[in-house]
Structure 1
Amino acid sequence: MFPLNRKTLPALCLSLILPCTLHAADGETPEPAKETQPAPVQRQALNERSLDDALALERQVPKEEQQTLQAGSESFLALWKPANSGDPEGALIILPGAGETADWPKAVGPLRRKFPDTGWHSLSLSLPDLQADSPQPRVETPAKPAEAATEGQQAPAKDTPADANASVEQATAAEGESVDNGGQAKTPEAKSNADAERIFARLDAAVAYAQQQNARSVVLLGHGTGAYWAARYLNERQPAQVQKLVMVEAQTPATAEQGLATLAPGLKLPTADFYYNQPLARKAAEQRLQASKRLKGSNYHQVALTAMPGNRSAEQENLYRRVRGWLSPSQDD
């Protein structure tokens, strides 16, 4: 090792430090990577409750009573029981109400099982979930990136996701509205019309199936809000194959623009309105009856029923006898 004196030591240190300083000065500080805002994540929609109900019915109802019908691009479950007669009177197509199944224990199930013994085919339908009753879809909005920490420094540019506009529509849709696949908000009227198209397609399929069974006549029976959809179907489509309408405990959906007092009394075919003599039901029934009296030549009829709390079996038997008596007066006893 060479000896260093006091004169050469500073020069040596300077020669070692200077290249490092120059290298640092010549280099450029890399810019922070641009932050990209991830696209909002929309939670996957759950299966329709009606599909789960149909799967449960497939496990509970005998296979020979199950029929899969086609309505447009979707198939659905219907419960079929042929008439126990060599000369059937016709087919009774039953529409359950909101939240009910094709074998609902009140009205729907008992009527579909009892009518085949008096010469009527029965076909009870599964209806789809209603868009008008569905909640607004939820969209998960990602957290905003951190703002620039240094004053005067602009935040890095962000890439705009391709579906940003759709996300804004989803996030700002008014309460009571949903959005379609294009991100456009649906009004209650648009949702009701979309529900009607799906239900009408199922009714078309049911009527066609009844015709294939050589039914001499076809009767629609709606329970609860099913009565509204049956009346609306007959009002808008006016199918020649359907001869009568039966409404049991009729209800108008909360989102409907037209009520049953407008739809039912004006139908051209015979219509029977069975209601239980209770305050709210009686008031709604009175409105329907008054509307029918204002129409010349109305085919609308009302039948008041007596509720039997604590004795559902007797109540359902009474309902069956009253409906059967209106459809086939000669069998009334």
Structure 2
Amino acid sequence: MSSLRPALAALCLWLFLPHALPVLAADPEPAPEPAQAQPEIRPQLPERSMEDETALERQLPKNQQQQLQAGQDSFLALWKPANSSDPSGAVIIVPGAGESADWPLTVGPLRNKLPNANWASLSLSLPDMQSQASQPRQAEPQAPPAPPAPNTSSKEASTTAKPIEQAASIGTENTTEAPPAETFEAMSKADAERIYARIDAAIAFAQQQNMRSLVLLGHGTGAYWAARYVSEKQPAQLPRLILIAAQTPTGVEPDLSQLTPNLSLAQLDIFYKDQPLARKAALQRRQASQRVSRTNFTQVALNAIPGNKEAEQEQLFRRVRGWLSPQPAYK
């Protein structure tokens, strides 16, 4: 019996080997590579000005809303015809940064009051200023969990691990934020082109309404862009320009005091003298106009009326109306 056991074992091995050898000879399948985490691209948020336009479309009557086309941009403008059969013309209002076409200070009150003074009003929505905003960047990808540190207590391991970790951290710090794609000057130029296109569209619309006279009015930084538009475009359709609480945007050149003296059209420059910075900037504009003997430059200083915005806005409106439509002097 004991002599049969080796023979039976040899027979089993002989029967099993033909089936086992192909399996052993086959190459093992490669393990799938772990998918690399792609950096998450944050979606671009809509412009704040577009949100303001949407809010105005819900709040204001449809007959005041005009969708104008400026290049590839479609934007909201608020139109109010003069309450007269023979209007004097139309005032195109350019709001300041962060202001809507119906801003409650200056912009809204003037656009609503001017039609009763024989002037139609067309208030524009301006795009967000890209030159004044931070650059978008990619979100930082989720880093894979770090492997556990080797369990060693030797002095050599502790002294050599730190430089390697520092080099790795330096590489990741430099890739968290991408450099800006455009320079500030290029973005400022793009901002100007978008604003100019909207003023062009506003002028074209006002001319379609058979307005015999057009006036450009800017508030805050909108006054700067209005003056710069006139300086660069020199449109014959705009014989007059109104600047209210004019302000040069941060970092943008040329300064407003360099623009106004070179303008050949009639100008009304209104500022609030209780604000030191505004008073200083207004003095620079007046002195610059005096150096070139500009007789078409009128500057008016107003007092703010704290606690009574309605009276303050009425005061401003009377000044604008008096310059637009001067009353004949009684003898």
CA apart distance, 1:75: 1.7
Alignment counterpart, residue 227 of structure 1, candidates 223, 226, 233: 223
Structure 1 letter corresponding to 2:96: G
| 1:139 to 1:276, Cα distance in 2 relative to 1, 3 A | same
CA apart distance, 1:123: 0.6
What SS does the corresponding residue of 1:236 show, helix, strand or coil? helix
1:77-96 equivalences in 2 (<5 Å): 77-96=76-95
How far, CA to CA, are the matches of 2:129 and 2:320 in structure 1?
28
Aligned to 1:328: 325
What SS does the corresponding residue of 1:29 show, helix, strand or coil? coil
How far, CA to CA, are the matches of 1:24 and 1:113 in structure 2?
89
Alignment counterpart, residue 240 of structure 1, candidates 236, 243, 249: 236
Aligned to 2:152: none
1:17-28 equivalences in 2 (<5 Å): 22-23=21-22, 25-28=24-27
Alignment counterpart, residue 256 of structure 2, candidates 256, 260, 275: 260
Alignment counterpart, residue 201 of structure 1, candidates 164, 180, 197: 197
How far, CA to CA, are the matches of 1:127 and 1:22 in structure 2?
78
Aligned to 1:172: 178
CA apart distance, 1:204: 0.6
How far, CA to CA, are the matches of 1:120 and 1:169 in structure 2?
56
Aligned to 2:284: 287
Aligned to 2:167: none
- The CA RMSD measured in Å over matched residues stands at 2.9
| 1:202 to 1:297, Cα distance in 2 relative to 1, 3 A | same
Alignment counterpart, residue 275 of structure 1, candidates 266, 271, 275: 271
Q: Does 1:301 align with 2:298?
A: yes
Aligned to 1:107: 106
How far, CA to CA, are the matches of 1:241 and 1:276 in structure 2?
29
CA apart distance, 1:285: 1.3
TM-score (norm 2): 0.82
1:53-73 C-alpha deviation (Å, 9 max, x unpaired)? 111111211222111212122
What SS does the corresponding residue of 1:172 show, helix, strand or coil? coil
Aligned to 2:138: 139
How far, CA to CA, are the matches of 1:143 and 1:53 in structure 2?
35
Structure 2 residue runs without a partner (length 5+)? 148-173
Structure 2 letter corresponding to 1:212: Q
Aligned to 1:60: 59
Structure 2 letter corresponding to 1:58: E
Q: Conserved in 1, the CA contact under 8 Å of 2:140 and 2:176?
A: no
What SS does the corresponding residue of 1:135 show, helix, strand or coil? coil
How far, CA to CA, are the matches of 2:328 and 2:38 in structure 1?
66
1:38-57 equivalences in 2 (<5 Å): 39-57=38-56
How far, CA to CA, are the matches of 2:139 and 2:328 in structure 1?
61
1:183-198 equivalences in 2 (<5 Å): 185-198=181-194
How far, CA to CA, are the matches of 2:300 and 2:175 in structure 1?
48
Aligned to 2:123: 124
CA apart distance, 1:51: 1.4
CA apart distance, 1:11: 2.7
CA apart distance, 1:322: 0.9
Q: Does 1:317 align with 2:314?
A: yes
Q: Which has the higher helix share?
A: 2
| 1:43 to 1:320, Cα distance in 2 relative to 1, 3 A | same
CA apart distance, 1:145: 7.3
How far, CA to CA, are the matches of 2:329 and 2:312 in structure 1?
17
Q: Conserved in 1, the CA contact under 8 Å of 2:138 and 2:178?
A: no
What SS does the corresponding residue of 2:327 show, helix, strand or coil? helix
Q: Conserved in 2, the CA contact under 8 Å of 1:266 and 1:298?
A: no
TM-score (norm 1): 0.82
How far, CA to CA, are the matches of 2:27 and 2:3 in structure 1?
37
Question: For structure 1, which segment, 292-301 or 226-235, has the greater mean C-alpha deviation from structure 2 after superposition?
Answer: 292-301
CA apart distance, 1:232: 1.0
